[in-house]
């Protein structure tokens, strides 16, 4: 069911410094910082040959990653995103097998339908599924 690793997301306290690490020190191609108020984060995408790294900084007082950063003040790996061909079908099959979805599929930061799976059902890892 799951396909390519679409991205690894890293929550960061300072997205400018985080982008500079990947751009200036690691020599990677990074996007501009894009505020995504509807998701409560600002994102920078790092393009790697085989996948992407999504740097996410809290935006606004109700950011979904604020608590994570309180617990990981220096930043940390926040979620993995796997591609699926049909998100509705994948969601149905996973629910049937007892996995909990965090809400219903919605349009994610890349303009494609996404849904998150409960980390307690996924080896302690927050997983995002994105329709490829």
Residue 57 touches Co ion, criterion: CB under 5 A = no
Residue 53 touches Co ion, criterion: CB under 5 A = no
Closest CA to 22 of 42, 51, 49, 44: 44
Residue 38 annotated as catalytic:
no
Rounded to an integer, what distance in angstroms lies between the CA atom of residue 123 and that of residue 70? 22
Rounded to an integer, what distance in angstroms lies between the CA atom of residue 58 and that of residue 68? 10
Residue 30 touches Co ion, criterion: CB under 5 A = no
Q: How far is the CB of 41 from Co ion (least distance, A)?
A: 9
Residue 128 touches Co ion, criterion: CB under 5 A = yes
Give me the residues paired with residue 57 across strands.
Answer: 42
Closest CA to 82 of 120, 118, 114, 124: 114
Residue 9 touches Co ion, criterion: CB under 5 A = yes
Greatest alpha-carbon pair distance for the chain in Å reads: 46
Among 53, 59, 81, 84, which residue interacts with Co ion (rule: CB under 5 A)? Answer: 81
Residue 80 touches Co ion, criterion: CB under 5 A = no
Kindly give, in sequence order, each residue whose CB lies less than 8 Å from that of residue 21, ignoring residues fewer than 6 positions away.
Answer: none
Q: How far is the CB of 76 from Co ion (least distance, A)?
A: 14
Q: How far is the CB of 14 from Co ion (least distance, A)?
A: 19
Cite the active site residues: 128
- Binding interface with Co ion (CB under 5 A): 9, 54, 81, 128
């Amino acid at each position: 069911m799951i396909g390519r690793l679409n991205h690894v997301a890293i929550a960061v306290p300072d997205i400018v410094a985080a982008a500079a690490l990947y751009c200036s020190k690691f020599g990677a191609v990074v996007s501009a910082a894009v505020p995504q108020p509807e998701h409560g984060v600002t994102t920078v995408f790092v393009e790697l040959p085989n996948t992407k790294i999504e740097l996410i900084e809290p935006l606004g007082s109700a950011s979904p990653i604020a608590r994570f950063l309180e617990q990981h003040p220096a930043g940390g790996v926040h979620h993995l995103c796997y591609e699926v061909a049909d998100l509705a079908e994948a969601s149905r099959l996973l629910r049937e097998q007892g996995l909990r979805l965090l809400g219903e599929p919605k349009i994610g930061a890349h303009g494609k339908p996404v849904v998150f799976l409960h980390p307690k059902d996924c080896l302690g890892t927050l997983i995002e599924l994105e329709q490829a």
